[in-house]
Structure 1
């Protein structure tokens, strides 16, 4: 299927003129309004399911629209038509087509010698045969003109009459067919730059006898009474009584000046934009309202906050992490802003949820906590029943729970199994009993995941002693998530959840139990023994249920230390689909997180998770090691390790062997190592499944998994660390106020009160008790956005001598999910320059209290863009001097010139790095010379050769002003005429990029910046492209079929 584009969200402000919005049923409720030179269609305003602005119609006007009305033009359409006039004197007519798209059907170029300031149209619902199709226009040239339309739309409208207003400017017009007349007679009311209303009427016989093209209006009288100009009026012959209750509906907002920059927060959950209107705006898609989950198909994007508002035009914004951003404006100072407390963690249960931000550390790591309703299942094992007799029933309940969660788009499910049997040292239980129980539960759940195609589902079984149940419940519960509880569990255990404010839903298996012990397996009678130090090893790629059984069993029999060898990348090069193997650091982090999770009910142990660079690893040399846990498949490896230990003069190990789970949930697999490897749950099958998913979905799945790991690590932190994290959140300001000069947002802390007078802008200060974002029930109104959703300003960064142009913070490293927290450490910025002295990049270091750590020279004129490579190793800049430059980060905070070239014939407007971790050093430059050049950097090139190569030069029909790389070799190109082209690299050996999709008229004016949304699961295989353009609009465009 060829790629296609559709609109997902449009943020476009109303023009600041009178009469630029109108309402009609066409065929359902719409509001059409003027947004710069475009016409915005607001679909079903006031409805709960309204998608907001769904279309932005290009008009072709050279100046902004100054008047707009919806009219009944019966010769054009039986539905209301849009009539709009522009400041360039032109008038256009748009009709609704059968495919719900609006098409321009008439255009009167230069209808007036001045700006169109008033339009008069007929709105009456009389039959088509009785009404003439006319438009009356007035402009700053002081003339009214009457235009008639014919049935032949190929013919332009005819000028039927001109009325000279003798130097007065028309401000508004209204037309109405007079009721109770034998022939069609029109009444026209006119407001001008006087305090009178002029009334005109057409002659009684003109419309019926001579036709609309001979329609003439005559002045009848002037109505006095106003003391100033009448700026708005309307005629109607119907009066409808309404109640006195007026309800504010969800607003439509937008920038009213050029939108300069857009930036996705690191997880792609919300979007920040800035503009010459001196504001930054935060756009988000609420996922629940009033505590209720929203259907994904009904959830819509809104402006949810206006973090920054001051007296300078804004040029650029960049996220430091999920809670902090930096902005560059038409001043010499960078400003750093932080989210108020209401944006940290989920909002209140009855609030408007726009994002789940989690903790401070998660924000720094560019991760969000996993969330999902009904993802906890509480089971209980009575001592008299035993594990094996309970296994079949519990497996059925676990399977039911996983099926339900899969239907609700949650792929993270944990079964908490409580019992006094799990009190260490597990008296009355054997190793085999626990293994068989875990295998049965995991196998039942895994069979559902395979059937549903969720091979990366996060399925966990946590064994909890009764004495630790309250502690575990406190750590794992989510206030808005239900907990499913086995109906046979006693009331005491259930009350633990209820005391935490969690909704408990009891479920009954309704399952006739067979001979459970026979179905699940038989105990081998070998008992269970715990050891001070236990070891195991494996690849642990894409941690699955087989790995989790192995890690759980080893964690159970370890008392003080567990050693886990994770196979190093160098030993895995021959694996199938090796490019999808998780990096070693990520696999180690996943193993650490899971062991911490399994040990949550017990005393923590020393977790030694290390790289395995040979087959034996530390197990062959660790003197304190007593036991080894292996699978049926890897039993031969245990013999090899024992032989190595004998060579090293160490004692033999006791081996504990577990069976493997089948790829579709089987628990009774038999055979040799090769047969077991082919039929078990394995990472090889998961990678094969990932290949079939497509690159965007793979990246979204991997990102979601990293979020879960981060969340799991947070859940298992010590109480002291959790309290410190909570303290960090509570120390955040609850909001911000605007001081009298209106330049810096001042932090407002809980209980504080500011006694200064309101600012010159009229924004009240007062006192703040809680952040507005924590109590919103619906998208905020314009008043709330401009006053109550400000973010406090924390820092000012100095150094530049002229007004700033761009700012860019280094991104989190996608290889380790940002766990190294290096993202947002360095902030690079530039300013206006006409000489080499000021054409520099200044870098501030967040880790050193924002000290300026580098000044990078090399350009001679203003730098237009600054971009960091994916791993933050290289900094790319481009400039008005027609060159690009590259700088390399060495030894921490040092930056040195690396390479560069004067590669274009005109200004270079933008540059971008590849987002493909396999080829992170591919980059592109875009210029006014109508070309995009794609290069690849060679960090280890031969001496004497330049360390880069030009891969391709792509020519376009217009100047290129913005570019952005997406997943899987996709490049978005924005042009000066508002068109966007999507390019893809052709498969094969060569480097040939070609256009696969053109999106014409995405904007009325030039595209200033493009940004692809980081892949998220809710987008599926589609890609979302954000754009900011000179016409003031911020758009999200969905691209399918890439």
Structure 2
């Protein structure tokens, strides 16, 4: 086929992508302007300073496994790992770093050291040459202990590195670099479960080097790392060590009977002493002592992050699977320090954010500071962003990015293209729309109308205010927009749909009963509510909904359930007039490999089930005039059904030219042709010269490099355009003249996934 020499340009309008649910899957650049996070096998880049608030601007392909860790090396380079290997961006090199999944990653920019830890029970140290190369310089064996978190820092007043490794043995292992190799120096015990997060705070005039460790046991421990003055005599040191050991033994004997806030947890005040090289190469002693036990989370701690500015009071951000974020800092109350002549402070819970007592969607997986002490951000697994106003520590939630936390299985446009509905394996349906701005429109998630207990597989729009979705269950569920959604579209400038009278008849909000799967319309006092916090004209608030509001306040009421199939649903299609919709279910026999058609007004069956296939029907497409229904199946056939007024749709044609499963089908805009896409790496265009339109033959075959999984037609520039989605993530677009029935289809452009 001929390939045009001039290619049109393609621009990305919108990217909705959530972070992978791993503790170290997000990082922020040194200037706090760019967040990079793993989303599936991609790296998503989010410019937090973008005045247009466009969210994710770009994704970086290249990984072949799920991205597990991301860290910026400097403002222009970042390194990422997956459950197979490691990538270093600007994409310049891919390394096979470990034999198994990489679970932890640390970067030390000053020495250009990169440290990776994997489930092969090893930690590897890499040297970055400043250009494109990473060279392995050392392997540390953990002897069947798996590294869950890694951090590296510089010891005070030295150039020596200190490496902390949180492990599955409930301990933090401290290594120091001596003679060009990391040597195990100290094991810090006390946690009662896996240590999932670590964070160093650099030493300052008022505070020593501090290591924070967070565990699955819900607690956070702070450890002070200080230089031991060389003038201290060996006798005094021995005496101190002995005294600490005796005190530890005494406290351990009391731990089993502990009934206080610590819940019987053992607190060791032992001073751990180790030696490192000073600036002149001479031995220099340091001590690590336990400083504080922070108790406040109700589930495992997933991440720790220190406020960047060392001039402020130390503030530690922690996140947890209990759906909470906590800011910890020392109080003004001073108490004698056990490790020095100075005084120290009691660490307290300054601020708490999130859902109290809940573990919705698994909680938070990580937290980042988005500025030098002005904002905190958790990675977009839950898409939260909090800010502070001046010196009063008045925090508020502001906008962030969002997206499905798993594969997207279905999409559908509203009839007029006002918004887009998507469904995914994260068991949610989401509505996305373009909000006008000063320079350009910015797309955002506007509503989360369905949060289900089953994986959502497909969706169709029945009209501007209704949609039908299917999940991994036998039921089709129909939803209708509440008043708040209509007001949101209007006030944000997305669309002005319906009349004022129609809007006032709608329920204000929706709720899900305990242990229920059906969204119920609110009643009683809720009906008198003016609107939600994000669209409240009387309060002067008109903005898009944020994550907490999307999850709790934007549900749509479920108005109908449609039954009929004996097994779980697979696909749903809707007619061009939106008066009919059709469904199919999983099947391994002809009895269940049928298509059932319903009217969208009364939700009653329309005609008899469409029979003929012997295996699962994978796609259903109505012709533009709704006179025909096209179906494709795992049995490698397509079947065509024609409308007869008295009997619904009846079979008129079938074909089995494809060699593998047919994944998708679509009609040309004029209804004169349709296309089928198959795993056999072909897309076939079918036309008929029969006036009765019962004999359809292949007019063109498009051969591809990968299996075709999705197709869609459009008409533009006096041509038919056919978009083909491939199994590797590429999208290819072919064109053919409108008036040429047997013309070749020419490749217009390729949208690469890489």
Please say whether Structure 1 and Structure 2 have the same fold, judged by a TM-score greater than 0.5: yes
After TM superposition, the structure 1 stretch with the greater mean CA deviation from structure 2, 971-980 or 889-898, is 889-898
Which secondary structure state, in structure 2, belongs to the residue aligned with residue 8 of structure 1?
Answer: coil
Query: 91, 99, 109: which one pairs with 2:86?
Result: 91
**For each residue in 1:306-356, what CA deviation from the matched residue of structure 2 results, as whole angstroms up to 9, or x when unmatched?**
1111111111100001100001111111010000012336667xx544332
The one of 523, 533, 538 equivalent to 1:749 is 523
Change (3 A) 1:777 1:170: farther
Looking at structure 2, the residues matched to 342 and 937 of structure 1 have their Cα atoms a distance apart, in angstroms, of 48
**Alpha-carbon distance between aligned partners in 2 of 1:340 and 1:773, rounded to the nearest angstrom:** 15
User: Distance in 1 between the 2:449 and 2:124 partners?
Assistant: 46
Q: 2:95 aligns with which of 108, 116, 130?
A: 108
| Residue 137 (structure 1) aligns with | 116
In the TM superposition, residue 229 of structure 1 has moved relative to its aligned partner by 3.5
Distance 1:871 1:772, change over 3 A: farther
User: Contact (CA 8 Å) 1:979, 1:1000: kept in 2 or not?
Assistant: yes
Match of 2:69 among 50, 59, 67: 67
Closer/same/farther in 2, CA of residues 199 and 779 from structure 1, 3 Å limit: farther
Q: Is the 8 A contact 1:876 1:886 kept in 2?
A: yes
Matched with 1:392 is none
Which whole-Å CA distance do the structure 1 matches of 2:566 and 2:42 have between them? 38
Question: Which residue of the other structure, out of 310, 314, 319, is the alignment partner of 1:239?
Answer: 310
Q: Unaligned regions of 5+ residues in structure 1, if any?
A: 73-78, 96-103, 124-130, 207-214, 288-293, 360-725, 754-766, 812-822, 1003-1042
Q: Partner residue of 1:319?
A: 461
**What corresponds to 1:193 in structure 2?**
168
The residue aligned with 1:807 is 572
1:924 Cα shift?
Answer: 0.4
Greater strand proportion: 2
- Structure 2 residue corresponding to 1:118, chosen from 87, 95, 104: 104
> Residues 1011-1034 of structure 1: CA distance to partner in whole angstroms, max 9, x if unpaired?
xxxxxxxxxxxxxxxxxxxxxxxx
SS state of the match for residue 556, structure 2? coil
Q: 2:47 aligns with which of 37, 43, 49?
A: 43
Shift of 1:892: 7.5
C-alpha separation in 2, matches of 1:938 and 1:794: 44
Cα 1:966–1:849 shift into 2, 3 Å: closer
**Conserved in 1, the CA contact under 8 Å of 2:734 and 2:749?**
yes
Unpaired stretches in structure 2, ≥5 consecutive residues: 1-5, 203-308, 313-372, 374-390
Are 1:991 and 2:743 counterparts?
yes
The within-5 A match list for 1:197-216 is: 197-203=172-178, 215-216=180-181
Work out the CA distance in 2 between the residues paired with 1:256 and 1:996. 33
CA contact (8 A) 1:773 1:789 kept: no
Match of 2:186 in 1: 221
**Structure-2 residue corresponding to 1:358:** 498
TM-score (norm 2): 0.70
State how far apart, in whole Å, the 1-side matches of 2:419 and 2:310 are: 44
> What is the Cα deviation at residue 304 of structure 1?
1.2
Task: Give the Cα–Cα distance (whole angstroms) in 2 for the partners of residues 80 and 896 of structure 1.
Answer: 62
- The alpha carbon displacement at 1:40 in A equals 0.5
1:986 positional shift: 5.0
**Whole-angstrom CA distance in 2 between matches of 1:152 and 1:783:** 42
Q: CA deviation at 1:891?
A: 2.2
Q: TM-score, normalised by structure 1?
A: 0.51
RMSD of Structure 2 on Structure 1 (CA): 2.4
Instruction: Verify the 8 A CA contact 1:189 1:200 in the aligned structure 2.
Output: yes
- Equivalent of 1:53 in 46, 53, 56: 56
Q: Where is the helix percentage greater, Structure 1 or Structure 2? A: 1
Paired position in structure 2 for 1:304: 446
Q: Give the conservation status (yes or no) of the 8 Å contact 2:447–2:485.
A: no
1:972 paired to 2:746: no
Measure, in 2, the Cα distance between the counterparts of 1:180 and 1:119.
Answer: 25
Q: 239-248 or 785-794, which moves further after superposition? A: 239-248
Query: Structure 2: how far apart are the matches of 1:272 and 1:257?
Result: 15
In structure 1, how many angstroms separate the alpha carbons of the residues matched to 2:680 and 2:89?
35
- Please give the per-residue CA displacement for 1:669-690, whole angstroms capped at 9, x wherever unaligned: xxxxxxxxxxxxxxxxxxxxxx
* Contact 1:347-1:773 within 8 A present in 2 as well: no
Counterpart position of 1:1013? none
Closer/same/farther in 2, CA of residues 316 and 347 from structure 1, 3 Å limit = closer
Shift of 1:898: 2.2
- 1:17 corresponds to which of 10, 16, 22: 22
Query: Does 1:286 find its partner at 2:429?
Result: no
Aligned to 1:758: none
Instruction: Judge conservation of contact 1:346–1:357 (CA < 8 Å) in 2.
Output: no
Determine the C-alpha separation between the residues in 2 that align with 1:986 and 1:937: 17
Supply the distance in 2 between the matched residues of 1:261 and 1:773 (Cα, whole angstroms).
28
Change (3 A) 1:807 1:750: farther
| Counterpart in the other structure of 2:699 | 951
Secondary structure of the residue that 1:11 maps to in structure 2? coil
- In structure 1, what is the Cα distance between the partners aligned to 2:581 and 2:662? 22
Alignment CA distance shift 1:774-1:885 (3 Å): farther
Whether 2:32 is the aligned partner of 1:34: answer no
Residue among 638, 643, 661 paired with 1:889: 643
Deviation (angstroms), 1:984: 0.9
Q: Distance in 2 between matches of 1:113 and 1:189?
A: 22
In the superposition, relative to structure 1, how do residues 152 and 795 fare at CA in structure 2: closer, same or farther (>3 Å)? closer
CA distance in 1, matches of 2:586, 2:107: 49
State how 1:755-794 maps to structure 2 within 5 Å.
770=531, 774-775=535-536, 777-794=542-559
Residues 596 and 605 in structure 2, CA contact (< 8 A), matched pair in contact too = no
Matched, 1:295 2:438: yes
Conservation of the 8 A alpha-carbon contact between 2:63 and 2:82 = no
Structure 1 Cα separation of the partners of residues 461 and 689 of structure 2 = 28
Q: 1:216 to 1:880 in 2, by over 3 A?
A: same
Check 1:122–1:50 CA distance in 2 against 1; reply closer, same or farther (3 A cut): farther
What is the match of residue 875 of structure 1?
Answer: 629
Matched, 1:738 2:742: no
